[in-house]
């Protein structure tokens, strides 16, 4: 997909460094025992050791266990995801979408440039709202060769440590649409081997740092614009991917049904992995066909057990992709979103 939104500023992460100290209190009360009677009582009960305040402090200082993302990987219901203007730095657009759609999104996508610190405030904002953050991490300012070669390791380690420290689930889609020609990490400037080497290198550093809170997303564009580019050479392996995040939009020209838009790509991917699909970016171009496209997207996703949801790109950019570009489009989206198949509490998947 040639359309992309980049963050226009790098938000410094807000790191909460708090230590909770528990203080023990010794309560002195009246006693009915004489000194002799107390000695006899303590001997009969066995001597009780004095409380050790340092033990309580040590217990309170223990870190929380890493957030377990496994229940989020294959939920019983589908994700209703959203990418919206200013979100999740500000939640105004998210709340407006939820009001128009009649249902809260539980996956919020935003774009982060390579070199940005892990945007903990944005991830926390999403979680506080009831959604998992979905970060499209875009390596504009470096080469895949340099990443794979270790030249960016210090930055990657710092990013991974911040993920671990915040300890909230986050989906990361690194270098999306790598099979296209429109990004600097795409087919014109990088090879499939360089992509997989860089992807695996980043993943391995996160694992080494203990940043297990990540849902790793591998996100090719639908193959229609470049049918000769095979996807398997870009596949890093099942142990490196949790979701296959297919990117594809309903445009005025080109494929116009769920099967014709996503089918060929999914069929090709199924020859080398069974990982669940999520439509990582989608929307429908404004026009007479848009209500039908919206219905097709919802129903096509619901019919496939191996597709766990989609992320709607709710921007007026190049064209009006928003669900309320027309009254019938919004009505259709709202009707389809009421399906019990979509939306669930991510904190209790």
Closest by CA to 89, choosing from 12, 162, 3, is 12
3-state secondary structure of 82: strand
CB 243 within 8 A of CB 70: no
- List, in sequence order, every beta strand (DSSP E) within the chain: 79-84, 107-113, 132-138, 170-174, 214-218, 243-247, 277-282, 307-314, 316-317, 319-320
The Cα 58–Cα 65 span in angstroms is 15
Task: Choose among 293, 235, 234, 231: nearest CA to 265.
Answer: 231
Active site residues: 177, 281
Cα–Cα distance measured from residue 72 to residue 168, given in angstroms and rounded to the nearest whole number: 12
Measured between its terminal Cα atoms, the distance across the chain in Å is 31
Q: Is 237 left (phi over 0), alpha (psi -120 to 50) or beta?
A: left
Instruction: Count the neighbouring beta carbons within 10 Å of the beta carbon of residue 318.
Output: 9
């Amino acid at each position: 997909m040639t359309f992309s939104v980049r963050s226009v500023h790098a938000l410094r992460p807000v790191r909460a460094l708090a230590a909770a100290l528990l203080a023990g209190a010794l309560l002195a009360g009246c006693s009915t025992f004489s000194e002799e009677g107390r000695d006899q009582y303590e001997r009969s009960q066995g001597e009780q050791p004095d409380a050790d305040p340092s033990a309580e402090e040590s217990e309170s200082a223990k870190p929380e266990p890493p957030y377990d993302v496994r229940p989020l990987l294959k939920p019983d219901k589908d994700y209703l995801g959203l990418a919206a203007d200013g979100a999740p730095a500000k939640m105004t657009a998210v709340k407006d979408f939820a009001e128009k759609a009649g249902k809260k999104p539980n996956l919020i996508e935003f774009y982060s440039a390579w070199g940005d610190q892990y945007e903990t405030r944005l991830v926390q904002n999403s979680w506080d709202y009831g959604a998992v953050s979905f970060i499209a991490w875009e390596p504009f300012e470096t080469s895949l060769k340099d990443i794979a070669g270790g030249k960016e390791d210090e930055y990657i380690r710092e990013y991974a440590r911040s993920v671990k420290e915040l300890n909230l689930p986050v989906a990361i889609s690194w270098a999306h649409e790598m099979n296209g020609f429109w990004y600097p990490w795409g087919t014109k400037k990088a090879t499939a081997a360089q992509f997989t080497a860089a992807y695996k290198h980043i993943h391995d550093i996160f694992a080494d740092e203990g940043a297990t809170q990540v849902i790793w997303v591998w996100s090719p564009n639908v193959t229609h614009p470049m049918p000769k580019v095979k996807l398997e050479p870009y596949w890093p392996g099942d142990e490196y991917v949790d979701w296959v995040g297919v990117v594809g939009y309903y445009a005025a020209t080109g494929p116009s049904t769920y099967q014709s838009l996503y089918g060929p790509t999914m069929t090709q991917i199924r020859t080398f992995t069974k990982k669940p699909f999520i439509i990582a970016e989608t929307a429908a171009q404004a026009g007479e066909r848009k209500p039908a496209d919206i219905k097709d997207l919802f129903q096509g996703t619901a019919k496939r057990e191996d597709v766990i949801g989609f992320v709607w790109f709710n921007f007026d950019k190049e064209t009006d992709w928003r669900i309320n570009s027309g009254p019938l489009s919004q009505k259709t989206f709202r009707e389809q979103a009421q399906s019990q198949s979509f939306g669930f509490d991510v904190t209790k998947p």
